[in-house]
Amino acid sequence: MSRRNKTKDTKRDTLTFSTRDFLPTTKEEMDAKGWDQCDIILVSGDAYIDSPYIGVAMVGRMLERMGYRVGMIGQPDINSDVDIKRLGEPRLYWGVSGGSVDSMVSNYTATKKFRSTDDYTPGGKNDKRPDRALSVYCNLIRRYFKNTVPLVLGGIEASLRRVTHYDYWADRLKKPILFDAKADILVYGMGEIAIEQLTRALDEGRDYRDIRGLCYISKEPNYEFIQLPSHQECLDEKEKYIDLFDDFYDNNDPISAKGLCQSVDTRFLIQNPPCDYLNQAEMDANANLPFTRELHPYYAKDGKVKCLETIKFSIMTHQGCWGECNFCAIGVHQGRTIRTRTEENILQEAKYFNKYKDYKGIIADVGGPTANMYGYECDKKLKKGTCDDIRCVDADRLCKVMHVDHGRNLSLLRKIREVEGVRKAFIASGVRYDLITADKKHGYSYLKEMVKHHISGQLKVAPEHTQQHVLELMGKPGKETLVEFKKMYDELNKEEGKKQFLTYYLIAAHPGCEEKDMHELKRFTTQELKMNPEQAQVFTPTPGTYSAVMYYTEMDPKTRKKIFVEKDTKRKEKQKRIVVEKECFRTGFAS
Task: Compute the average pLDDT of residues 444-458.
Answer: 94
The domain total for the chain is 3
Last-in-domain residue among 453, 487, 503: 453
User: Is residue 291, in this structure, part of any structural domain at all?
Assistant: no
Bridge partner list, 314: 365
- Evaluate if residue 588 carries a pLDDT over 80: no
User: Is residue 582, in this structure, part of any structural domain at all?
Assistant: yes
Same domain, 156 and 88: yes
DSSP summary character for residue 431: -
- Evaluate if residue 6 carries a pLDDT over 90: no
- Evaluate if residue 399 carries a pLDDT over 70: yes
Give the SS3 label for residue 262.
strand
User: Is residue 286, in this structure, part of any structural domain at all?
Assistant: no
Same domain, 81 and 229: yes
In this predicted structure, what is the pLDDT of residue 583? Answer: 59
pLDDT band at 586 (very low <50, low <70, confident <90, very high): very low
Same domain, 47 and 173: yes
User: Is residue 395, in this structure, part of any structural domain at all?
Assistant: yes
Task: Compute the average pLDDT of residues 504-525.
Answer: 96
CA–CA distance, 297 with 47 (Å, rounded to integer): 11
Domain containing 529 — which CATH number? 3.30.750.200
- Evaluate if residue 122 carries a pLDDT over 80: yes
User: Is residue 60, in this structure, part of any structural domain at all?
Assistant: yes
pLDDT band at 288 (very low <50, low <70, confident <90, very high): very high
Same domain, 79 and 199: yes
Same domain, 119 and 238: yes
Of all residues in the chain, what percent carry a pLDDT higher than 70?
96
Same domain, 185 and 326: no
CA–CA distance, 451 with 101 (Å, rounded to integer): 31
Nearest in space to 45 (alpha carbons), one of 119, 123, 144, 152: 119
Same domain, 321 and 468: no
pLDDT band at 2 (very low <50, low <70, confident <90, very high): very low
CA–CA distance, 239 with 235 (Å, rounded to integer): 10
In this predicted structure, what is the pLDDT of residue 352? Answer: 97
In this predicted structure, what is the pLDDT of residue 12? Answer: 53
| Interstrand relation of 93-97 and 40-44 (parallel, antiparallel or unpaired) | parallel
- pLDDT tens-digit readout, 293-305: 999 999 999 999 9
Q: Annotated binding site, which residues? A: 321, 325, 328
Q: Annotated binding site for [4Fe-4S] cluster, which residues? A: 321, 325, 328
User: Is residue 298, in this structure, part of any structural domain at all?
Assistant: no
- pLDDT tens-digit readout, 157-189: 999 999 999 999 999 999 999 999 999 999 999
Asked whether the beta carbons of 293 and 21 are under 8 A apart, the reply is no
92: number of CA atoms within 13 Å, CB side? 25
- Evaluate if residue 413 carries a pLDDT over 50: yes
Same domain, 536 and 553: yes
Asked whether the beta carbons of 405 and 442 are under 8 A apart, the reply is yes
Last-in-domain residue among 406, 425, 453: 453
Please name the amino acid found at residue 460.
K
Residue 317: φ, ψ to 5°: -85, -20
Domain containing 369 — which CATH number? 3.30.750.210
What's the domain range around 188?
Answer: 5-271
CB neighbours (10 Å) of residue 474? 27
This prediction has a pTM of 0.94
Same domain, 365 and 448: yes
Q: Note the helical H segments in 315-406.
A: 330-334, 343-352, 379-384
pLDDT band at 54 (very low <50, low <70, confident <90, very high): very high
User: Is residue 129, in this structure, part of any structural domain at all?
Assistant: yes
Task: Compute the average pLDDT of residues 77-104.
Answer: 98
Same domain, 392 and 529: no
Task: Compute the average pLDDT of residues 375-392.
Answer: 91
- pLDDT tens-digit readout, 205-259: 999 999 999 999 999 999 999 999 999 999 999 999 999 999 999 999 999 999 9
Same domain, 44 and 193: yes
185: number of CA atoms within 13 Å, CB side? 25
pLDDT band at 589 (very low <50, low <70, confident <90, very high): very low
In this predicted structure, what is the pLDDT of residue 7? Answer: 37
Last-in-domain residue among 393, 428, 453: 453
- Evaluate if residue 396 carries a pLDDT over 80: no
In this predicted structure, what is the pLDDT of residue 590? Answer: 33
User: Is residue 289, in this structure, part of any structural domain at all?
Assistant: no
Same domain, 468 and 429: no
In this predicted structure, what is the pLDDT of residue 188? Answer: 98
